[in-house]
Amino acid sequence: MFDSIKRLIRKWRASRDGGHQLDALLAIADRSAPYPERSEWLIELAHWICRGRAVNPGAAEDTPSHSTPPHTRIRYLLHVLDRNPAWKANVAGILRALLRESDGLSLLCDAGMPVHSGFFGALFERIEASLIPPAPNRRDLTAIVTLMFSSERDAEWIAALPADLLTRIHALFDYAEDQDEQRDATPFSLDLLAALHNLTCQISSTGLSQTVRSRLGGTHASRAGDDDMRDASDVRVAMEKQPFYRLTRAMLAVEAAHHAFVAGGSQDQLLREVNYLRLLLDECRGATDKVFAHLYRNGVSVDIVFQVERMRMRIVRAEHLLNAWMAHDDPHANARLTAELVNANHASQSVAHLVRSNFSLLARKVVEYSADTGEHYIARDRAEYLKMLRMAAGGGLVTVVTVCVKFAITNAHFHAMFEGLLAGINYAASFLLMHFLHFSLATKQPAMTAPTLARELDGVGTPAGVDSFVSSVTALMRTQAAAVFGNVLMVFPVCLGVQLLWRALFHADIISPEKAHATLHSFSLWGPTPFYAALTGVLLWSSSLLAGWADNWFVLHRVADALAYNRRLRMTLGAAGADRLARFCRMNVAGVVGNITLGLMLGLVPAIFTAFAFPFEVRHVTLSAGSIGISLGVLGKGALKLPELWWAVAGVGSMAILNVAVSFALAFYMAVKSRDLRRNAVRSLRGAIWRRVFQHPLELMWPAKAEREVR
């Protein structure tokens, strides 16, 4: 029997005519077949409905002209079944038997809900599910729905089913039902009630866990010295008032009122209990928002975000089940519930959906440090613009020492990996010196300033918000140009002067003429310089990402409090000294981590790539400009006539553009994603930006007097 069904299915798949395919499929429907054969038959029927173009309904002349292909195919299916009572009886029997013999709670409660309690467990679960689809012999409605509906569009046409089709589908389930089936069947309303009970218990359990409970009362101290602890009686009262604590009892009251109503009691009591349950579910949803707000203020953990997000998904599912249970006679309510289950089940198979839903808050927190820091790197008036020029000049002066030390390291001809390590230490030391001296390195700013602009995107719904955003973009362009010029105009002549002074004092050059020619040639625009400059921009962005992560980790684990109340530190430095140390670490942890990681990446990543036969060299505009200055000092005035010098200058220009553009684009993309902004909302601002540029082009070079007041 099974082999014959397989052969008929293969023949049906080979047919190109939709009507002939359906006839062949309906002819092999057998309500008495084993469970795996019936489930496989239903899966093939769903594929016929969901895939392909609309068929000619023939005698079904009532097909609306605006029906989607799945709707047309369902209408044609019902029409064919009406003309063939034997086929219709078998199809109805298969549908009822599958619902009766399969686990429906798994679909109602668990569809779209990750099984594992952690993010990485759910990630591996989804990867495994994408590689190993469920078998149709599992007595699980979730498995059948997964195999029946594999596209995101399926939920759309299910939710849009017209009323006449829903009525006919509901009637199909009751067609030719015998007394034994009626006795064994469980009403769908009871399945919904059992699923609601299951979900409310899970929601209550997660809401009362330490992970959530500790983030609902008061917020943790955000800095050393704050104390928001309450006594035990206050905690007990707060526990009893939490909606998670009352949710299970409210669900039991709904079940009791339902049983009383079935026994002939009043419906008013049932409605009161249901409304109270709705109120508690709404309060639970609000409590999850408080947990997310607490995480945003006090550090984000991916696993905690995952657990709270799963709890919120269960709250939404419970609300949908409650709505369907109260309107179980409404076919549209059942269609909406089915569409939601199909959509959630499809989302639960997507790795991208898991990453997006769990990392948006983490991305927001990670970029928030950059936003706070980036505000200091946007010059909005003339005083800030001149301050930025001074900071950039100071950064260029420090880079002079960095360039000289770099050439000293390369002249020693160490092993490539050891040379990369020494170069990374050199870069990291210079970047840390800039950090503590409050100097500026131009190419580090874009990764810091992009999140600042993304924060202002929160207010672009108003004309004032749009104007503020456009003013910030204009100020950013102007500030970046000033920072690059400040770095380059300081590092180039000073490096040239250092080389000339070195020759005058020691009668030798910092590098050989051959090395100088090779340096100019390596920076040429006609070569891999633009590609290397873009990759360097990726490293610049990565350092800001790591800096934001370090800041989030420091706050999440309350390291500042641990330092401030450390017994040994208090005995050594005193309470005030320990508190000052904690505040110092809190203010500088992200900057130190970002600068150290950037320096080590600039030194080690090229060595690592080269070791794997992928040649890569750092192309940083400020470092390269200093190298050109030393090379020019070695080669003398005659180098001005060499084409390689001017191609190297053009290459440095490309570095300035690509270092800034790539790091800014990556940081801005992540910052926008952290706020879940749509692309069209971002695109609508481009016109406003271009209008400002064309109307006030001089603002790109010099800030207007009243810009701060306009902002």
Query: For 573-610, how does the pLDDT look when each residue is reduced to its tens digit (9 = 90+)?
Result: 999 999 999 999 988 888 899 889 999 999 999 999 88
β-strand partners of 394: none
More confident residue, 468 or 531: 531
pLDDT exceeds 50 at position 175: yes
First to last CA, the chain: 78
- Our CA dihedral for 566, 569, 572, 578, rounded to 10 degrees, sits at -110
More confident residue, 645 or 672: 645
pLDDT exceeds 70 at position 516: yes
Measure the CA–CA gap between 301 and 271, rounded to whole angstroms: 40
**Arithmetic mean of pLDDT, 466-473:** 77
Burial class (CB in 10 A: 0-12, 13-18, 19+), 559: middle
**CB atoms closer than 10 angstroms to residue 484:** 24
Mean pLDDT of the residues in the chain = 80
Confidence of residue 19 (pLDDT cuts 50, 70, 90): low
At 60 the pLDDT is 47
Measure the CA–CA gap between 277 and 281, rounded to whole angstroms: 6
**Cα dist. 50→55, 68, 168 in Å?**
12, 10, 18
At 444 the pLDDT is 67
Answer for the pair 79, 59: CB distance below 8 angstroms, yes or no. yes
At 652 the pLDDT is 92
**Cα dist. 390→567, 638, 660, 701 in Å?**
43, 33, 19, 16
Question: Token digits for 13?
Answer: 């798949």
pLDDT exceeds 90 at position 556: no
Answer for the pair 460, 677: CB distance below 8 angstroms, yes or no. no
At 292 the pLDDT is 77
At 387 the pLDDT is 83
pLDDT exceeds 50 at position 59: no
Task: Walk me through the domains of the chain, giving residue ranges and CATH numbers.
Answer: 1-101+165-183 (no CATH), 364-701 (1.20.1080.10)
Q: What is the DSSP letter of 59?
A: T
Confidence of residue 170 (pLDDT cuts 50, 70, 90): confident
At 583 the pLDDT is 92
Phi and psi angles of residue 140, each rounded to the nearest 5 degrees, phi first: -145, 120
Nearest CA among 174, 151, 164 for reference residue 46: 151
Answer for the pair 492, 633: CB distance below 8 angstroms, yes or no. no
β-strand partners of 103: 140
Number of helical H runs and strand E runs in the chain: 31, 0
Most confident of the ranges 217-221, 327-331, 528-532: 528-532
β-strand partners of 140: 103
What residue type is assigned to position 439 of the chain? Answer: F
Look at the alpha carbons of 344, 349, 352, 355 in this order and tell me if their dihedral is positive or negative. Answer: positive
Phi and psi angles of residue 103, each rounded to the nearest 5 degrees, phi first: -80, 105
Nearest CA among 349, 355, 314 for reference residue 120: 355
At 577 the pLDDT is 92
Q: Note the maximum CA span of the chain.
A: 109
Residue with tokens 């798994």: 106
The set of residues, in sequence order, having a beta carbon less than 8 Å from that of 55 and lying 6+ positions away, is: 18, 19, 22, 72, 73, 76
Measure the CA–CA gap between 658 and 210, rounded to whole angstroms: 47
pLDDT exceeds 90 at position 306: no
Question: Token digits for 397?
Answer: 């002066």
Which range (193-202, 282-291, 540-549) has the least confidence?
540-549
At 423 the pLDDT is 94
Measure the CA–CA gap between 453 and 459, rounded to whole angstroms: 11
Phi and psi angles of residue 223, each rounded to the nearest 5 degrees, phi first: -150, 160
pLDDT exceeds 60 at position 220: no
pLDDT exceeds 50 at position 219: no
More confident residue, 512 or 377: 512
Q: What is the DSSP letter of 153?
A: T
Measure the CA–CA gap between 238 and 366, rounded to whole angstroms: 32
Of the CA atoms within 13 Å of residue 566, those in its CB half-sphere come to 16
At 282 the pLDDT is 92
SS3 137: coil
SS3 526: coil
**CB atoms closer than 10 angstroms to residue 124:** 13
**Arithmetic mean of pLDDT, 135-141:** 83
Measure the CA–CA gap between 333 and 479, rounded to whole angstroms: 56
Nearest CA among 66, 139, 64, 71 for reference residue 104: 139
pLDDT exceeds 60 at position 709: no
Nearest CA among 429, 622, 451, 475 for reference residue 536: 622
Measure the CA–CA gap between 471 and 461, rounded to whole angstroms: 15
More confident residue, 680 or 229: 680
Look at the alpha carbons of 234, 238, 240, 241 in this order and tell me if their dihedral is positive or negative. Answer: positive
Residue with tokens 């010098």: 645
More confident residue, 62 or 423: 423
